[in-house]
Amino acid sequence: MFHKAMIFELTLLLVAWILSWLFSIPLWGGGSWDWMGLVVGLTSTLPMLSLFFWLLQSSWEPCQEIRHMMDEAVLPIFKDFTIIQLALLSIAAGVSEEVLFRAVIQGGIQSALGIPVALAISAFLFGVCHALTKFYLVLATIMGVYLSLVWMSTGQLLSPIITHAVYDFIVLIWYLRLRVSPNY
C-alpha cells in the first residue's frame, strides 16, 4: 500500500509539472528559498496541529464523524507503514500537493482572475480532494486558505511545503501510533 500511496502523490507532482509546462507557470512558485521560509513553515504548523488536537478531543458530532471516518478509512490504509514510510509519504504529500494547489493552480489562476479568486479556487479544490466528510471538506478548505496565506506571507513555496509535510507527519504518527497504539 505504501507504494500505491507514493505513486499517487508523485502522480500529483507529474500533473503539476505538465500543467506548469502547458501554461508556462513556475512549477516551484517562483522566488528563492531561505532559512526564513523554513522557520515560517515550521512555526505555521502549530495552528493546524492545535485544530487537529481539538478535533480529537471534541464531542461535537462533525468531529466525531471525522474521527470515525479516520478509524474506518485512514487507519486500515496506513496502520502498517513504518515511521520512515510515514515520513516519506508526508514529504511527498507536502511537496506534490503544495506544488499543484499553491504554485500551479493558485499561481496560474491569480494572474488572470486575481489573488482572492485564485486562493478560493485552489483552497476549495484542496478541500474537495481531502473531503472525508462534509465537515472535513470545510476544514480542509480552510487549511487550503491557510497554506496559501503561508505561501503568500513569505513568497516561498518552501514554507507551505514544510507546514504541510510536518503537519501530516505529526498527525499520522500521533493518530496511528500514539493514539491508537500507545505501545508502538
Going from the C-alpha of 132 to that of each of 51, 73, 128, the distances in angstroms are: 16, 8, 9
List CB contacts of 146: < 8 A, sequence separation 6 or more.
44, 47, 48
List CB contacts of 97: < 8 A, sequence separation 6 or more.
9, 12, 126, 129, 164
H or E element, residue 48 = helix 45-57
CA distance 41 to 4: 27
Q: Under the phi-then-psi rule, with left for phi > 0, alpha for psi from -120 to 50, and beta for the rest, what region is 97? A: alpha
CA distance 123 to 101: 7
Task: Compute the radius of gyration of the chain from its Cα atoms.
Answer: 16
Per-residue pLDDT of the chain (184 residues), as tens digits, is 899 999 999 999 999 999 999 999 999 988 788 999 999 999 999 999 999 999 888 999 999 998 898 888 888 889 899 999 999 999 999 999 999 999 999 999 998 999 999 999 999 999 999 988 899 999 999 999 999 999 999 999 999 999 999 999 999 998 887 765 544 4
| The predicted structure's pLDDT at residue 157 | 96
| The predicted structure's pLDDT at residue 73 | 84
In the chain, what are the domain boundaries?
2-179
